Structure 1
Amino acid sequence: MIEEGNISTVNSSDLSINIAQALALETKDLLPKEVIVKVWTDKQFYKPGEQGWLRMIVFNNDVKDYYIKNITVEYPWWYSYINGEWKGFEIIEPEKDTLRIGEMYEKNVPIDVPSEGRIRPGTYDIKVTVNLNEATIQKEAIIEIIYDYPSTIEGIDKIVTLLAVQIILTVISALVIAAAIYLSLRKPVRPTPPPVPPSEEEKT
């Protein structure tokens, strides 16, 4: 910012930074004054045996600082005993546990979906518990297990188009076959011979 007498001018870069800061502060003010936790998965569907990611953020929008004791993640296949150890429960202890005002903690946790036989198709909840020094926050992320991926709308459109083309070709083929049968059954009609002109004797 450059001051010239009583007139202050702002260049475009400073203006864009100030606008971005103002928007950030406005959005921050619209959020509740508390620690906000959001959790979600990286995909909508998972097949047995697949791997994915659980995304989580912890944002301190409160008026005081906190520190994170630990974060527990409980999967719907908890109590699974695989290869000599229990699967489905995880305790996360952040290296930087202090969560000051306006700070955000982010974490990507790998998801290992059990193979077929240990979990059935359906919709389940992944339970996430954030243990702070003065509060405990629980959130859930939805995970859906399927055996086969559903057909996309684009795939359905292609199938409908192929069916329409097949129906048209079937109708045309039926008309051609019917015409061939009709022509084969129709008896040919011999043409009538032209009349024989009278001879000279008949004329006299």
Structure 2
Amino acid sequence: MAKTSQQPVRDQASDHLLTPQNCLLTLIDLQKTQYATITSTNRQRINLNVEAVARIADAYDIPVVLSTVGVDMGVNPGTAPDLKAVLGDIPEIDRTGVNAWEDKDYRSAIEATGRRKVVVAGLWTEACLAEPTLDMLEEGYEVYPLVDGIGGISTTTSHEAALRRVEAAGARPITAIAFASEIMRDWARPVSDKLRELFGWYFPKKAELDKAEGII
């Protein structure tokens, strides 16, 4: 018998997997100063995947918490303009500290969502991603580092070591497409066209990058 109807939808709030109703996305320090020293990947790859999760968050009404560092101090510019254009009017929570979790406004914004599953992307992996991830894990959150939307100042010494550290503490690595697919879940759902639209945008962009880098 042909299968054309969606599978039963599990409880969206209590599902152990990510759903539009049980998670949030936080983006930390995607700023020019941080991009300038990334060598584990490149800005184009980071932006592609961060933009992908931002698009899915917008399409499925997932809360987004955006943070910067050193803007009010006049040290750094804000979120990269190309990404800020995608994020729209989401406010930037600026900080002075490396660890976003130590900033009360940032922490309050996360807590205000009432959600305990946190998908996080940011620069650098070894500092501005790792530190709040470790703190959130300690306080009982489930944290999902967006491994293709982050970067460190070196591949193995910094980026990979930081990922091993947060994974050892309980972090659950995820990629942009894995996140998007988990959020949508079933191609027969009425909202599945939102993922089709994302794929229609994402894979041509990815192919351009792959070709430029000699991958295909």
TM bucket (normalised to shorter chain) is under 0.3
Bigger fraction of residues in helix? 2
Give the number of the structure whose residues are more often strand, by fraction: 1
Of structures 1 and 2, the larger Rg is shown by 1
* TM-score using structure 2 length: 0.26
